[in-house]
Amino acid sequence: MANASIMTNKSVSDVAMPADWRDFVALTKPRVMTLVVFTGLCGLLVAPGHLPLVLAFTAVLCIALGAGAAGALNQWYEADRDAAMKRTAGRPLPAGRMTRQSALHFGVGLSVFSVLLLGLATNVLAAAILAVSILFYVFVYTIWLKPRTAQNIVIGGAAGAFPPLIGWAAVTGDVAPLPIALFAITFFWTPPHFWALALFVRMDYANAGIPMLPVVSGETVTRRQILFYTAIMGAAALAPVLLQLTGVIYGVTALVTTAIFAAMAIQVALRRESDPARMGPEKRLFKYSVLYLFLIYAAVVVDHWVGYGVPSA
By CB under 8 A, name the binding residues for other proteins.
7-8, 11, 14-15, 17-21, 52, 54-55, 58, 61, 117, 120-121
Task: Compute the CA torsion angle 298, 230, 288, 90 (nearest 10 deg).
Answer: 110
Output 61 or 232, the one with its CB closest to other proteins. Answer: 61
Q: For residue 308, how many C-alpha atoms fall within 13 Å in the half-sphere facing its CB? A: 17
Residue 138 beta carbon to other proteins: minimum distance, rounded to whole angstroms: 23
Task: Tell me the one-letter amino acid at 132.
Answer: V
Output 109 or 280, the one with its CB closest to other proteins. Answer: 109
User: Which residue intervals of the chain are DSSP H helices?
Assistant: 2-14, 21-27, 30-46, 53-77, 79-83, 100-121, 124-135, 152-156, 158-161, 163-172, 177-200, 202-208, 213-216, 219-242, 248-270, 280-306
Q: Taking the mean position of all CA atoms in its chain, how far away is CA 239?
A: 21
Residue 11 beta carbon to other proteins: minimum distance, rounded to whole angstroms: 5
Residue 4 beta carbon to other proteins: minimum distance, rounded to whole angstroms: 10
d(CA 114, CA 309): 33
Output 14 or 275, the one with its CB closest to other proteins. Answer: 14
Output 47 or 85, the one with its CB closest to other proteins. Answer: 47
Residue 54 beta carbon to other proteins: minimum distance, rounded to whole angstroms: 4
Output 107 or 247, the one with its CB closest to other proteins. Answer: 107
Residue 99 beta carbon to other proteins: minimum distance, rounded to whole angstroms: 13
